[in-house]
Chain A
Amino acid sequence: MNHESKYTPKYKNNNRIIEAKKNTKQTSLVGGDFSDRLRAYRDLHAHALFSSLGRLIASRLNAALTIIVLAISISLACGFYLLIQNVQQLTSDLESSNQISLFLRDDVSLASANRLANGIKLDPSVQAVKVITKEQALKEFEDFSGFGEAVRALEKNPLPIVLQVIPKNSLEDGQNIETLVENFKQAAEVDFAQLDMQWVKRLQLIIEVGQRSVALMGILLSFAVLFITGNTIRLELHNRRDEIVIAKLVGATNSFVQRPFLYSGFWIGFFSGISAWFIVTIMMLILKQPIEKLALLYNSGFHLLFLGFLESIGLIIVSSLLGIVGSWVVVRLQLQQLKV
């Protein structure tokens, strides 16, 4: 073997170096300068990134099944999120006012309505009173309800005179306003009194419940994503057990062993996020036409909200992160159990 001369002296030399540095730091054993090592580290990551992608593609069916399940879970959460966003958009132009509407009896004249209004203005807890005549009410109704045509067909204006009472801001407390409303109800001219705040509040509460439910569902589905990714990675770990044992026996650290699995988790999460985005967008596109037709019928300027740019990016980042975390947890647990 005439190549010996080439190999042996360096070997000797390096041995001396190794023995000289007796601390067990990885760096003391690695040859080459810093930039070399940095490049090697980068290559290691690049290799893990692409080899894990390659393995994912090689296991077509398994990977596809996992990704589809994950994509459906994620798109469910996103779908509900969008639903709430859209409902919220519908109600955003409704001010949360404390306005009290007093609907007067049909036989009350404008003059006595004005007189009543002046009387109410004297109440110290009232900030302002506005009289809406039958004609103004009709005009407003025609403009905003979408039933203008129908109303115009009526012979007689069916709308009563309305007094809009705005209480003082100090009366934010529900109890005080309730008593005020009760007082107004006593007046002979008043047919019925309505606190506008109530239904706005109710709607807002309903939306809040919806938002909470979406958040809860999001958390639940995140766990589903975590566990499904974890399980897929567990199977992959099982299939590559020998490889892991060999790598550990020749000196691989746990981080070296787990790196490709973290990348697998990343790819699974990443592709699930993208698939979920497509599922949600396609569903919204299917719903877009009928919803906007419906909105048109109500003379509403409602436009269906899709996932925005930042939301889409966020979706993909979150799903990728969930994939990484899911695989990290599983790989850590499995490596602890592996006795090598």
Chain B
Amino acid sequence: MLKFDAVSMRYPEVGDVLRNVSFHLEKGEIAFLTGHSGAGKSTLFKLIAMMESTKRGKITFSDYNLGNVKPNQIPFIRRKMGLIFQDYKLLNDRTVFDNVALPLIIMGYSYNEISRRVRAALDKVGLLGKEKKYPLTLSGGEQQRVGIARAVVNKPLMILADEPTGNLDPELSAEIMYLFEQFKQIGVTVLIASHDISLISQLNHRLLTLEHGNLITGGENYESRI
């Protein structure tokens, strides 16, 4: 589903942020991505979300080589990913319903279909009944769940979550992790960037650890490449 093959990334101002990163996530696999800040987590995310690109190494998502997609292809590939952000990235002047509906509106679904799917997604994250509220009237955890509902509403092949439990208490974090487990059950690949060591250690998933741009656990052929 997602494959990194000797990917390196260098910012001219900073230097190397990723060095020779290789890993492969199967369909329906959950993995945590961890590492101290500045280790390259967000760069890795940006590469997958095609907000950045690199010529060094090869990133494959589904059938696409993300290194050489045409700009006009990017929106259609992004529709197969569900992105969840640490700062939620919600539209604060739109209702919860409109926020969750956004990917479906973009994809041109009919109103009835949108309405049905948005309700289903909100139900899934336990926010049914809050469709008409505005994000800023909700708690941090609720806003995060709106973000999750938006990420899954168009049934992506992969969920990419950047610190999804960063602002949540342990109980809510566990609930959200449970949600991700459910997506895994139906074949969705989930990659979660997290600092939350206690959470990660509770759940026995694959762990990708980045350190100074090197993938030190969970990668492929790490020893042979160093």
Contact surface of A with B, Cβ cutoff 8 Å: 1, 3-4, 6-8, 11-12, 14-15, 18-19, 22, 24-26, 29-32, 36-37, 39-41, 43-44, 242-243, 245-254, 256, 339-340
CA distance A249 to B150 in the complex (A): 11
CA distance A7 to B121 in the complex (A): 8
Residues of B near A32 (CB, < 8 A) are 109-110, 113
B123 at the interface (CB under 8 A from A): yes
The 8 closest A-B pairs by CB, nearest first: A251-B79, A251-B78, A24-B76, A36-B110, A250-B103, A253-B75, A7-B120, A40-B110
Which residue of A is nearest B125, CB measured? A1
Q: How large is the interface on B (under 10, 10 to 19, 20 to 34, 35 or more residues)?
A: 35 or more
Residues of A near B49 (CB, < 8 A) are 249
Which residue of A is nearest B71, CB measured? A254
Neighbour of A26 across the interface among B51, B89, B108, CB < 8 A: B108
Contact A8/B109 with A18-B155, A251-B78 known, Cβ cut-off 8 Å: no
Residues of B near A339 (CB, < 8 A) are 51
Neighbour of A253 across the interface among B72, B103, B113, CB < 8 A: B72
From residue 11 to 69 of chain B, which have CB atoms closer than 8 A to chain A?
Answer: 49, 51, 62-64
CA distance A265 to B80 in the complex (A): 32
Contact surface of B with A, Cβ cutoff 8 Å: 49, 51, 62-64, 72-73, 75-80, 83, 89-91, 102-103, 105-111, 113, 120-121, 123-124, 126, 150, 154-155, 157, 182, 186-188
Is A15 a contact partner of B157 (Cβ separation < 8 A)? Answer: yes
Within the complex, the shortest CB–CB distance from A166 to chain B, in Å, comes to 70
CA distance A36 to B113 in the complex (A): 9
List 19 A-B pairs, Cβ < 8 Å.
A7-B120, A15-B186, A18-B80, A18-B157, A24-B73, A29-B79, A32-B110, A43-B110, A242-B89, A243-B91, A245-B89, A246-B102, A249-B89, A250-B78, A252-B75, A253-B72, A253-B76, A254-B72, A256-B106
Is B155 a contact partner of A14 (Cβ separation < 8 A)? Answer: yes
Neighbour of B107 across the interface among A12, A26, A340, CB < 8 A: A26
Is B120 a contact partner of A250 (Cβ separation < 8 A)? Answer: no
CA distance A282 to B187 in the complex (A): 69
CA distance A18 to B63 in the complex (A): 12
Within the complex, the shortest CB–CB distance from A6 to chain B, in Å, comes to 7
Which residue of A is nearest B121, CB measured? A7
CA distance A256 to B78 in the complex (A): 14
Is B123 a contact partner of A251 (Cβ separation < 8 A)? Answer: no
Is A22 a contact partner of B102 (Cβ separation < 8 A)? Answer: no
Which residue of A is nearest B106, CB measured? A252
Is B51 a contact partner of A340 (Cβ separation < 8 A)? Answer: yes
CA distance A29 to B154 in the complex (A): 9
Is A7 a contact partner of B107 (Cβ separation < 8 A)? Answer: no
Is B155 a contact partner of A15 (Cβ separation < 8 A)? Answer: yes
Is A3 a contact partner of B123 (Cβ separation < 8 A)? Answer: yes
Within the complex, the shortest CB–CB distance from B125 to chain A, in Å, comes to 10
Within the complex, the shortest CB–CB distance from B116 to chain A, in Å, comes to 10
Is A247 a contact partner of B108 (Cβ separation < 8 A)? Answer: no
CA distance A24 to B69 in the complex (A): 11
CA distance A251 to B77 in the complex (A): 7
